[in-house]
Amino acid sequence: MLFQGSAVALVTPFTKENKVNYDKLEELVEFHIKNNTDAIVVCGTTGEASTLDDKEHVAAIKCVIDAVNKRIPVIAGTGGNDTDHSIMLSRIAENFGADGLLIINPYYNKGNKSGIKAHFTKIAQSVEIPIILYNVPSRTGVNLSPKLVAELAYGVENIVGIKEASGDMAQVAEIARLVDNNFSIYSGNDDSTLPLLSLGGAGVISVLANICPRESHDLVYSFLSGNVEKSRELQLNMKPLIDALFVEVNPVPIKTAMNLLGMEVGNLRLPLSHMEASNINLLKQELKNFGFDLK
């Protein structure tokens, strides 16, 4: 198992000049290790990877790997809709020392079943480190079917898990039915971590963990240790805040929240931009309700 618990889907901080803020990235790594985050995903959706050029992308991955220094697993987002480009990024991340890769389902050109299967297989066979599939049909326009997930799980040795962000618990249950215990299922939605754990999940790749790392860790480990009631309490208590963090497209609200809390992660890159005023007010209120002090 690559990791168990809560992996933060780390934001990419920017300077006032809209450059990657590597000093802040190192600071965020220390914050997460201090606050019980179990793994770090760098250059995923929340990290605005689609707006990073290749030089920034690989530099951000190396920065996080070096800052973590093997204290917790680092999973690099190296997927895309160009198989050869994904292979290039994946090999670089492996050479830097990444513990695993997060590979998204191809978007825009989508791919048919045979193409998608070949895409994941070819990337996985180009490296030796473990790969987590990333199914997020709301972003990609294509859903990874449970049958295809199982074919990849049994057919490709280093495809070891999936980040399931379809929001469909029946689909999660079918994946869990079809794969064996060596294949890890992670929630890609903070609002359904507990339901996924109840189906045999191993944890969450979390947006919320950017500001609630301890709570995200505790939610998973309370369940895994048998304290379902505490896990349920955490899930329900955090739901209003989670809802506010997804009132607009991710990562707009989470970066806004981090800035409101004084974490100074900078602006977003276009085509993402600032939140609507009414949504900022909602986010501020839920942060206060959860006990945060705004700066």
Does residue 237 sit in helix, strand or coil? helix
Pairing verdict, β 5-9 and 39-42: parallel
Query: Angle at CA 11, nearest 5°, toward 24 and 146?
Result: 150
- For 124-157, letters b (16+ CB in 10 Å) and e give beebebbbbbbbbbebbebebbbebbbbbbeebe
259 within domain boundaries? no
Per-residue pLDDT of the chain (295 residues; tens, 9 = 90+): 899 999 999 999 999 999 999 999 999 999 999 999 999 999 999 999 999 999 999 999 999 999 999 999 999 999 999 999 999 999 999 999 999 999 999 998 888 889 999 999 999 999 999 999 999 998 888 999 999 999 999 999 999 999 999 999 999 999 999 999 999 999 999 999 999 999 999 999 999 999 999 999 999 999 999 999 999 999 999 999 999 999 999 999 999 999 999 999 999 999 999 999 999 999 999 999 999 999 7
Q: What is the pLDDT of residue 176?
A: 97
The dihedrals phi and psi of 155, each to the nearest 5 degrees, come to -95, -20
The radius of gyration computed from the CA coordinates of the chain, to the nearest angstrom, equals 18
- State pLDDT tens for residues 57-85: 999 999 999 999 999 999 999 999 999 99
Which of 221, 260, 239, 272 is closest to 6 using CA atoms? 221
Ramachandran assignment for 226, one of left (phi > 0), alpha (psi -120 to 50 degrees), beta (any other)? left
Question: Residue 39 is encoded by which pair of tokens?
Answer: 């793994």
- Number of structural domains the chain divides into: 1
146 within domain boundaries? yes
Please state, in angstroms and as integers, the Cα–Cα distance from residue 178 to each residue in 25, 45, 154, 172, 226, following that order: 38, 27, 10, 10, 25
User: Which residues lie across from 131 on neighbouring strands?
Assistant: 101, 159
- Residues known to be catalytic: 134, 163
Range of the domain at 41: 5-227
233 within domain boundaries? no
H or E element that contains 62: helix 54-68
Q: What is the pLDDT of residue 230?
A: 97
Q: What is the pLDDT of residue 185?
A: 98
129 within domain boundaries? yes
Residue-wise DSSP of 170-222: HHHHHHHHHS-TTSEEEES-GGGHHHHHHTT--EEEESGGGT-HHHHHHHHHH
Q: What is the pLDDT of residue 111?
A: 84
H or E element that contains 47: none
* CATH code, domain carrying 222: 3.20.20.70
In terms of Cβ atoms closer than 10 Å to its own Cβ (0-12, 13-18, 19+), residue 267 is: middle
Neighbours of 278 (CB within 10 A): 9
90 within domain boundaries? yes
- State pLDDT tens for residues 244-295: 999 999 999 999 999 999 999 999 999 999 999 999 999 999 999 999 999 7
Neighbours of 291 (CB within 10 A): 7
